[in-house]
Each structure stands twice: as structure tokens, then as C-alpha cells.
Amino acid sequence: MRQSGSYTSRRRPLIAGNWKMHGMLDEAQQFVADLGNIASPDQVEVALMPPYTLLHPLSELLRQKGIQLGAQNVYYEPKGAFTGSISPLMLRDAGCRYVILAHSERRDIMGEANELIGKKLAAAWSAGLEPILCIGEHLEERQDGETNAVLRRQLAVLEDAPEGAALTVAYEPVWAIGTGLTASPEQVTETHAFIHEELTRLGHDCRVLYGGSVKPENAAELMACPGVEGALVGGASLQADSFMKIVQAAADVAAGE
């Protein structure tokens, strides 16, 4: 429901850890061992997105703890002569439920644009994966008052999406990723309200996560913002203790504590 121009949801939040290009097998196995039991699994869903090399080794270990597995990217063809690429069917075979798409590092460093992202979305859905579609503006775009226009352009990839397609959106202001900077609660609330309105206009009703220097110290404040339905966590997801503190903060907020 919507209240006072902001969005409030009763959906179970998702805390997803994006390990990016970090993690060796022994480190990953120790991480899972150190996690312990997930706090309040009925209050919060947890997922991890390790590098491709760790998907198969972690699949069963995470399943035993009730943690979903995801990948950080995917190619749009099911198979073929595409050296170095991973298909959606391969991700499903490895045990993945989620796949991150359009992360700002893919957009900015690898030059991925909406046309390619749209193909990846379609391929993920056809294979039964749930995309976590990343959107976000650069600092100069926010300073110039262009945040909503940027997000609208990025969300345009959903215009032809199948009705009822499984989807999560992650708002990650680029200026807050890995910088230690975090959007204020007012900025987060305002931007998430716009994103939910834009998703409604496009015919989608899905979770919207916040990402960008989420850590144990600010997790509760961010999770309490209207319209925030979880977090896409980067650096803080590499240590079991800090990641679980974020999970617990989300569970506490969801429980109204």
C-alpha cells in the first residue's frame, strides 16, 4: 500500500550478498561454516552470489542452510560457441535461483546497454531464473537532478517483460557503491517511491532492494525506509559475521522490533 507519497510493503525482504570477483574455495567453505543458522528465516530471505567457480561447490552447502544461490551475470544464449560465457541453463544446473543483471560495473566497465540487458532478462526468465535488475545514477546525475530520468531509462528494459515475470529490482546509486557513502534515509525513501511508481506504470509489482555501502552499522536504518524490501550487499557480505548482522537487522525490522 502507499502512504503519504511513499511505498510500504509487507513482502518478505531479501538480503543478497554479491561477492563480485572475490572468493577461493577454502574461503567460501569457511564462510558458510561460520554463518551458523539463519535468523528468523520466516522474516527474511537470504541469498549469495559468489563467482561462477564457486556455484557448484556451494550449492548444496547453502541449500542445507536455507540460503538461495545466485549468479552475478549470464549470457542470453542457451548454448553455443560463445567462449567464456555462461548460459542460464548452466546456472539452473548449478542450483541458482537468482541472477544479477545490469550491475553498474557491467554497464560502466563492460559497456552493457539496454538492448543487451533486455536479451539477458528474457533468457533468464525462459530458464526459470529470477533476475535482480540493478539500476542507479552517478553522482553528477543526482547533482543535476536527473536521477528519476536515469532510472526511468534503465527500467525501460521491462516494457516488454512477460506479465507476472519473477523479478527483483536493486537500486544502487553508483556514487555509493564501494565508496563508503550511503544515500540518506530521505533520499532512499524518495527514490524507492519513484521506482515503485515506475514499476507500477510498467505493470510490475516486485521487491525493490537498496544497495550501496550497506553495512551492519546502517542496515537497520536503511531497511526501515518505506519502499525498501531488502538489500544487495557488496563488501560487507564477504565476512560471515558482518553479513549475518545485516540479515538480523532486516529480520528485526520486518518483525517490527
Task: Give the catalytic positions in this structure.
Answer: 103, 172
How many whole angstroms separate alpha carbon 249 and alpha carbon 110? 34
* CA atoms within 13 A of residue 46's CA, in its CB half-sphere: 27
Q: Is the CB of residue 62 less than 8 Å from the CB of residue 32? A: yes
Using the structure block, give the residue that is written with the C-alpha cell 522474516: 43
